[in-house]
Amino acid sequence: MQGVLTLGQFIIENQSEFPYAKGELSRLLRDIGIASKIVNREVNKAGLMDILGEAGTMNIQGESQKKLDVFANEQFISALQSGGECCIVASEENDEFVYIDGEVSKDAKYIVAIDPLDGSSNIDVNVAVGTIFSIYRRKSSTGRATIDDVLQKGTEQVAAGYVIYGSSTMLVYTTGKGVNGFTLDPSIGEFCLSHPKMRIPKDGTIYSINEGNYVHFPEGVKKYLKYCQVEDPTSSRPFTSRYIGSMVADIHRNMIKGGIFIYPTTSSAPNGKLRLVYECNPMAFIIEQAGGRATDGFNRILEKDVHSLHQRSAIFIGSENMVHKAESLMSQYTKDQSDEKLNELLYKTGVIGGLD
């Protein structure tokens, strides 16, 4: 155990990163760490207890909730209520945000947005799932916090992180000063620093996307997939396709090995499917801090305006050069499509061709 640095020790030693926080943000991160240990305990019991399967309820997105979705949501909200460092919790599993109205919490400076159990459809088949969280400073200075305190751009995040419940349990987070990863040591019940100063490779050979939806993808995405599959030894192509179906698991693997995760718009989800507040913004903040890139195919994720709690977005995220290439093909197709429509209009109006 010599030289082991726990999450709590690391946060205390790096308190200078939060000169305005006076310890509240540090305690908030520790509260999230404690709740994730409780969720991890239940995930590891899945199959031994009556915690698998459907809860019999639906979330606001119309998705069936798993029992572990509900359990994880309750645990994180309870931990954040008890801690007193945040005034609002916005969860993917709740229709509206939750006010924390305790005597201390009502004047708290922070907002927490959380996806309590990302990839929960995988839990019944023992595949890695995760938690994603995001922390903002409230904008209002007096009175009760409002929806405007919650609907902030991703650039306003003061911290973000994820927990992956896999072969080992890891908590990875950033406060805008780089990314660090902590692995849970079950023998002492502590997250210990295992991946300091994480960096995602600028290039990679893995692409992660649900190719079953290929027919519904934009042409730019189809062109990128074809690019990934062409044999070209100079660029290590064809690339390897790896898709778990849990955003945390796919992005964590690509963070370590290099790669791109794509969840584009489709004909049935023209605005994208992943949630901007709970999934895209926090993961984009983490990946950018690790040297990667995150866009919706055209624009930086962190600069997107936020209009509603459950707003959807497309996302292209991962190794910088891979995301740039995907963006270039998306832009090229959009330009070609625009040129085609312009030529069609000019032809119909007789400006070009078709005239005697």
* Three-class SS of the chain: CCCCCEHHHHHHHCHHHCCCCCCHHHHHHHHHHHHHHHHHHHHHHECCECCCCEEEEECCCCCEEEHHHHHHHHHHHHHHHHHCCEEEEEECCCCCCEECCCCCHHHCCEEEEEEEEECHHHHHHCCCEEEEEEEEECCCCCCCCCHHHHCCCHHHEEEEEEEEECCCEEEEEECCCCEEEEEEECCCCEEEEEECCCCCCCCCCEEECCHHHHHHCCHHHHHHHHHHHCCEHHHCECCEECCCCCHHHHHHHHHHHCCEEEECCCCCCCCCCEEHHHHHHHHHHHHHHCCCEEECCCCEHHHCCCCCCCCEECEEEECHHHHHHHHHHHHHHHHHHHHHHHHHHHHHCCCCCCCC
Phi, psi (deg, nearest 5) at residue 101? -100, 20
> pLDDT tens, 323-340?
999 999 999 887 656 545
Do residues 133 and 162 make contact, with C-beta atoms less than 8 angstroms apart? yes
Beta strands 206-208 and 260-263, pairing class: parallel
CB atoms within 10 A of CB 268: 8
Enumerate domains of the chain plus CATH numbers: 7-195 (3.30.540.10), 206-347 (3.40.190.80)
Output the pLDDT for position 63: 59
pLDDT tens track of the chain, all 356 residues?
A: 457 899 989 988 887 766 565 678 888 998 999 999 999 998 887 655 555 555 456 555 655 577 888 899 999 999 998 888 999 999 999 999 999 876 556 678 899 999 999 988 887 788 899 999 999 999 987 778 899 999 999 999 999 999 999 889 999 999 999 999 999 999 999 999 999 999 999 999 999 999 999 999 999 999 999 999 999 999 999 999 999 999 999 999 999 999 999 999 998 899 999 999 999 999 999 999 999 999 999 999 999 999 999 999 999 999 999 999 999 999 988 765 654 554 555 555 565 554 43
Distance set, CA 234 to CA 134, 237, 309 (Å): 39, 8, 44
Do residues 313 and 301 make contact, with C-beta atoms less than 8 angstroms apart? yes
What residues contact 245, with CB distance under 8 A and at least 6 apart?
119, 121, 122, 127, 210
Phi, psi (deg, nearest 5) at residue 43? -60, -40
Do residues 72 and 117 make contact, with C-beta atoms less than 8 angstroms apart? yes
Radius of gyration over every alpha carbon of the chain, rounded to an integer in angstroms: 22
Q: Find the length of the chain.
A: 356
Q: Which two tokens stand for residue 29?
A: 């991160």
Do residues 117 and 68 make contact, with C-beta atoms less than 8 angstroms apart? yes
> What's the N-to-C CA distance of the chain in angstroms?
87
Do residues 203 and 321 make contact, with C-beta atoms less than 8 angstroms apart? yes
Output the pLDDT for position 3: 76
> 226-237: string of b/e by CB count within 10 Å (b at 16+)?
ebbeeeeeeeee
Output the pLDDT for position 254: 97
Place of tokens 């660029």: 235
Output the pLDDT for position 195: 97
Q: Which two tokens stand for residue 347?
A: 């032809």
Beta strands 54-58 and 206-208, pairing class: unpaired
Which residues are registered as beta bridge partners of 91?
A: 114
Output the pLDDT for position 122: 84
Q: Which two tokens stand for residue 46?
A: 């899945």
